[in-house]
């Protein structure tokens, strides 16, 4: 029965959107340290990898990767400007920039790396070194998921047709992230990110098709559901 289940790209993104909503709802409305909180946050770890996978699939199939890149970049900038205005403290860059709250910046860097990979696919030294630099930049400017998120996007693209290499590489970067965060994060929140590996079976259900639906829904879902949850929290706390 499981072997007959197949999911197109749009269906995978809807699943990721549900996990994302659960994650952010748990963060804002559930008490830290409770079982429900960690269950919700754990399910949320399944969201980003699916969106990262979807981006790599889109980069592979798009007829105009530059337009695709500009769409992601522009939308990321718009979200960032809205966030800065919402913070109200434009003089405090460390707070108001808040790149770690904008996954579209992570997607932008990952797609930028993919552009280099496609251009220099026959020159591994060039695209590997460039990808490494872009991942480091992502960590330095503190985008959402840092080097880990950018690297995951790159790996999804590089090993999209080699499941064994994809699984091994994802396990390795998750273990590396866990080790690097071992002294800076409590053990349970650190372990939660390893749940992201459970997205691998979901991704392997991908049927190679785009699927139907409004592609811009996923662009707008990210900022609107966050704004709605923050608004609801503000009303309840008023």
Convert the pLDDT of each residue in 110-162 to its tens digit: 999 999 999 999 999 999 999 999 999 999 988 999 999 999 999 999 999 99
The reported pLDDT for the residue numbered 95 is: 47
All structural domains of the chain with their residue ranges = 8-230
Tokens of 238: 């008023």
Q: What does the alpha-carbon distance between residue 41 and residue 149 come to, in Å, rounded to a whole number?
A: 17
Which tokens is 145 given?
Answer: 């998921």
Q: Which of 78, 81, 140, 68 is nearest to 107 (CA)?
A: 68
> Phi first, then psi: what are they for 206, rounded to 5°?
-60, 130
| Cα angle for residues 127, 131, 136 (degrees, 5° grid) | 150
Instruction: Give the burial class of 197: count Cβ atoms within 10 A of its Cβ; 0-12 exposed, 13-18 middle, 19 or more buried.
Output: middle
For residues 27-38, give the mean pLDDT: 92
**Locate tokens 């963060």: which residue?**
27
Tokens of 229: 């949850």
| pTM of the predicted structure, to 2 decimals | 0.91
Q: For residue range 83-116, list pLDDT tens digits in order.
A: 776 655 444 444 445 566 789 999 999 999 999 9
Q: What angle do CA 45, 95, 233 make, to 5 degrees?
A: 60
| Residue 51, Ramachandran bin (φ over 0: left; ψ between -120 and 50: alpha; else beta) | alpha
Query: Distance between CA atoms of 23 and 112, rounded to whole angstroms?
Result: 27
Query: How far apart, in whole angstroms, are the C-alpha atoms of residue 53 and residue 48?
Result: 9
d(CA 179, CA 78): 34
Rounded Cα distance between 139 and 145, Å, is 8
Measured between alpha carbons, how far is 131 from 116 in angstroms, rounded to an integer? 8
DSSP characters for 180-200? HTTTTS-HHHHHHGGGGGGHH
Nearest CA to 111 out of 141, 70, 142 is that of: 70
Contacts of 33 (CB under 8 A, 6+ apart): none
What does the mean pLDDT of the chain come to? Answer: 88
The pLDDT tens digits of the residues spanning 160-200 come to: 999 999 999 999 999 999 999 988 878 888 899 999 999 99
């Amino acid at each position: 029965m499981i072997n007959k289940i197949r999911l197109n790209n749009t269906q995978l993104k809807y699943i990721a959107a549900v996990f994302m909503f659960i994650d952010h709802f748990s963060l804002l409305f559930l008490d830290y340290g409770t079982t429900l909180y960690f269950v919700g946050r754990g399910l949320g770890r399944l969201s980003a990898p699916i969106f990262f996978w979807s981006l790599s699939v889109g980069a592979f199939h798009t007829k105009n990767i530059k337009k695709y890149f500009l769409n992601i970049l522009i939308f990321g900038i718009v979200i960032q400007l809205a966030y800065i205005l919402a913070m109200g403290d434009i003089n405090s860059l460390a707070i108001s920039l808040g790149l770690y709250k904008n996954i579209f910046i992570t997607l932008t860097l990952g797609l930028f790396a993919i552009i280099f990979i496609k251009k220099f696919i026959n020159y591994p030294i060039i695209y590997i070194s460039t990808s490494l630099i872009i991942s480091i930049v992502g960590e330095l400017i503190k985008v959402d998921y840092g080097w880990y998120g950018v690297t995951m996007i790159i790996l999804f693209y590089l090993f999209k047709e080699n499941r064994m290499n994809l699984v091994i590489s994802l396990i390795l970067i998750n273990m590396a992230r866990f080790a690097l965060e071992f002294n800076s994060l409590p053990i349970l929140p650190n372990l939660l990110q390893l749940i992201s590996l459970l997205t691998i079976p979901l991704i392997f259900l991908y049927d190679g098709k785009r699927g139907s639906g409004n592609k811009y829904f996923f662009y707008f879902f990210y900022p609107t559901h966050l704004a709605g949850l923050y608004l609801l929290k503000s009303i309840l706390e008023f």
